[in-house]
Amino acid sequence: MCRVITPETTGGHSHVDDPLSIAELLRETLCRELDSMTELAARHHIIEDEDIRHSLGHIIGSRRKDLAVIWELLQKIEDQAFGSSHHGHGH
């Protein structure tokens, strides 16, 4: 996969507006968020204090909703990049 996003040595950042670059950013965000969910779920599993487990459960629920929104955005931008009929066409 082509790496559109590259860290700048000056500590700056660049803005993107093309669909493929945006899709890459969203995929990277999803990956990071999923890794974070794995860590939260592991902590939820090993912590025995019910109040903390309850709070972590709320955080996990909120993150799941956020992930769904990011996934929807990724699908939308990929449809823009590749055309909305890329799955339904015949060969």
pLDDT in tens, 58-79: 999 999 999 999 999 999 999 9
pLDDT (0 to 100) of residue 15:
85
Q: How many domains does the chain have?
A: 1
Whole-angstrom distance, CA of residue 21 vs CA of residue 6: 11
User: Which domain, by its residues, includes 70?
Assistant: 19-80
Q: What is the pLDDT of residues 22-44, one digit of tens each?
A: 999 999 999 999 999 999 999 99
pTM: 0.71
| Residue 87 covered by a domain | no
| Residue 14 covered by a domain | no
SS3 letters across the chain:
CCCCCCCCCCCCCCCCCCHHHHHHHHHHHHHHHHHHHHHHHHHHHHCCCHHHHHHHHHHHHHHHHHHHHHHHHHHHHHHHHHCCCCCCCCC
